Amino acid sequence: DEAEVSHCGTCTACLDICPTQAFPAPYQLDAQRCISYLTIEHRGPVEEVLRPALGNRIYGCDDCLAVCPWNKFAVAAQEIGYAHRVGAPLLAELAGLDDAAFRARFAGSPIKRIGRERMVRNVLYAIGNSGLPGLRAVAAGLVGDPDPAVADAAAWAVARLS
């Protein structure tokens, strides 16, 4: 294989936009800091120092792709399944999903593969980052969740909203 030609030049848009500084240097990615990795692949609690940077992201992050000047050449998908959705589910609704409801809601979706625990953990980080005191009770209701990562995320969210 030949080395890939650099198309980036002096552009550092992806490095500059990344909320978790997952790019320590050009052409280097620290996957353990990448929000897509943290919200989709990582099992267990996310390091506390990274949680605020997750913001309201509950499944992945495309910030680096969105700012890349090369992506201006990309063609929007025509498949209806990939169409942008205006409506978003409420955090409280997602936090309240039990395993059966999670599986039913996300049947046929790639989200289903992360399972209820990781989804609710991510939702609780978003709740903690929301600044909405009205969601504190939702988080408090999950402090006793049998999954340790969910319980930890719930306690963190409660503390952030207190």
Q: What was the pLDDT predicted at 158?
A: 99
Does pTM top 0.85 for this prediction?
A: yes
pLDDT per position as a tens digit, 74-89: 887 777 665 556 566 7
Q: What was the pLDDT predicted at 87?
A: 64
108 by DSSP, 3-state: which? coil
Asked whether 152 and 130 are in contact (CB, 8 A), the reply is no
pLDDT, average across residues 18-31? 95
Report the C-alpha gap between 89 and 1 in whole angstroms: 45
Q: Judging by beta carbons within 10 Å of its beta carbon (0-12, 13-18, 19+), is residue 28 exposed, middle or buried?
A: exposed
